[in-house]
Structure 1
Amino acid sequence: MTRDWTPLALAYLLLAVVGLIGTWWFNALAIVQMVDFIGDLTTSGPAVSSITVDLLVAAIAGSVFVLVEARRLRMRFGWLYVAGSALTAFAFTFPLFLAMRQRRLVRMARSTS
Structure 2
Amino acid sequence: MTRHWTPLAFVYLGLAVVGLIGTMAFNVLSVVLMRDYLGDLFGGGPAVTSISIDLLVAAIAASIFVIVESRRLGMRFGWLYIVAAGVTAFAFTFPLFLAMRQRRMTERRMTERAAPRE
Asked if TM exceeds 0.5, the reply is yes
Q: Residues of 1 paired with 2:22 and 2:92: CA distance?
A: 9
Question: Residue in 2 aligned with 1:7?
Answer: 7
Q: Which residue of structure 2 lines up, in the alignment, with residue 97 of structure 1?
A: 97
What are the superposed Cα offsets for residues 54-102 of structure 1, whole Å, 9 maximum, x if unpaired? 0000000000000000000000000000111000000000000000000
Q: Deviations over 1:34-60 (max 9, x none)?
A: 111000111110000001000000000
How many residue pairs align between the two structures?
A: 113
* Residues in 1 aligned to 2:111 and 2:4: alpha-carbon distance in whole angstroms: 12
Q: Does 1:39 align with 2:76?
A: no
Structure 2 Cα separation of the partners of residues 27 and 41 of structure 1: 11
Match of 2:73 in 1: 73
RMSD of Structure 2 on Structure 1 (CA): 0.4
CA distance in 1, matches of 2:34, 2:81: 28
Structure 2 unmatched runs, 5+: 114-118
Q: Percent identity?
A: 65
- TM-score, normalised by the number of residues in structure 1: 0.99
Residue 22 of structure 1 is matched in structure 2 by 22
Q: Matched residues in 2 for 1:54 and 1:111: separation?
A: 39
Q: Deviations over 1:11-43 (max 9, x none)?
A: 000000000000000000001111110001111
- Equivalents in 2 of 1:50, 1:75: separation in Å? 34
Partner letter of residue 17 of structure 2? V
Q: Following the alignment from structure 2 to structure 1, what is the Cα–Cα distance between the partners of residues 43 and 22?
A: 22
Question: Helix, strand or coil for the counterpart of 1:35?
Answer: coil
Structure 2-normalised TM-score? 0.95
